[in-house]
Structure 1
Amino acid sequence: MGRLALFLLTACLSVTAMAADVIKGERQETFGDVTVHYNTFNSTFLTPDIAKAAGLTRSKNQGVINVSVLKDGKPLTAEVNGTVKDLTSQSVSLKFKQITEQGAVYYIAQYPVDQQETRTFQINVKSGDKTNTINFNQELFPGE
């Protein structure tokens, strides 16, 4: 599990360092003193060991969304849920699971990627008594 946390942390931080790199899709939103980092990628980017440890299906037709919530730079637990819609407005619920390890907290969910298309994501993050919503579009591609 330590490798999973390291991978997800590295994915978030390395992409944060290249915030203009839209191809990797990492983004962040700040709500007061809470910052939400999020990115999405094809599950084939995960090694088989990492995917297994996280309970994820590694497939060219499966995407992964990774969300982390920070308050004053420290991991914050939250309730995370959301949806992803295709161009025909068909919606798939995102079932996030929390991964906590070595002072890091991540929320990951999978969704189908059957063809190249732009999808609309809506992510709801509840921390304390406040819920913040993030909406974004991402062009997705089935993996190799």
Structure 2
Amino acid sequence: MGRLLSFLLTACLSVTAVAADAIKAERQEVFGDTTVHYSTFISTFLQPDIAKAAQLVRSKHQGVINVSVVKAGKPLVTQVSGTITDLTSKSVPLEFKQINEPGAIYYLAQYPVEQQETRTFKIEVGVNGKTETISFNQELFPGE
């Protein structure tokens, strides 16, 4: 599971934008003294053993969103939920699962990527006793 953390942190913190492969550089939002980091990528970028350990499906038609919340330099246990909406306004709920590792807590959800298109993500995160909403658009490409 430590390899999973290493991969996801690398994907979240140091990946450069490669639009053709549907990877975007890590994004973040700051709410007072709390920072929410988030990134998306196609699940085939995960090694098979890492995907299995996180109970994720590896497929060129499955994306992953990774969310982590940090307060005062320490990972924060919180509530994370969200939806992904296509251009026809069809919305699919994101079912996040919490992953705990020494020194890290992050939340993962998978979503379908049937074709190249832009989707809108709406993520709700419990921060400092209230719910904060992060919305962003992401152009998605099925993997190779």
Scaled by the length of structure 1, the TM-score of the pair is 0.93
**Structure 1 residue 10: Cα displacement:** 1.6
Q: How many residues align?
A: 140
Distance, in Å, in 1 between the alignment partners of 2:18 and 2:78 is: 26
Corresponding residue for residue 110 of structure 2: 110
Contact 2:35–2:70 (8 Å) recurs in 1: yes
Corresponding residue for residue 42 of structure 2: 42
1:49-68 correspondence runs (5 A): 49-68=49-68
Distance, in Å, in 2 between the alignment partners of 1:140 and 1:3 is: 26
Call closer, same or farther: CA 1:22–1:127 in 2, change over 3 Å.
farther
Q: Deviations over 1:45-76 (max 9, x none)?
A: 00101100000000010000000000122111
Contact 2:31–2:127 (8 Å) recurs in 1: no
Corresponding residue for residue 134 of structure 2: 134
Contact 1:43–1:60 (8 Å) recurs in 2: yes
Distance, in Å, in 1 between the alignment partners of 2:9 and 2:65 is: 13
Name structure 2 gaps, 5 residues minimum.
none
CA RMSD of aligned residues (A): 1.3
Scaled by the length of structure 2, the TM-score of the pair is 0.93
**Runs of at least 4 residues off by over 6 Å:** none
Name structure 1 gaps, 5 residues minimum.
none
What SS does structure 1 have at the residue aligned with 2:122? strand
Percent identity (aligned): 72
Corresponding residue for residue 85 of structure 2: 85
Contact 1:85–1:119 (8 Å) recurs in 2: yes
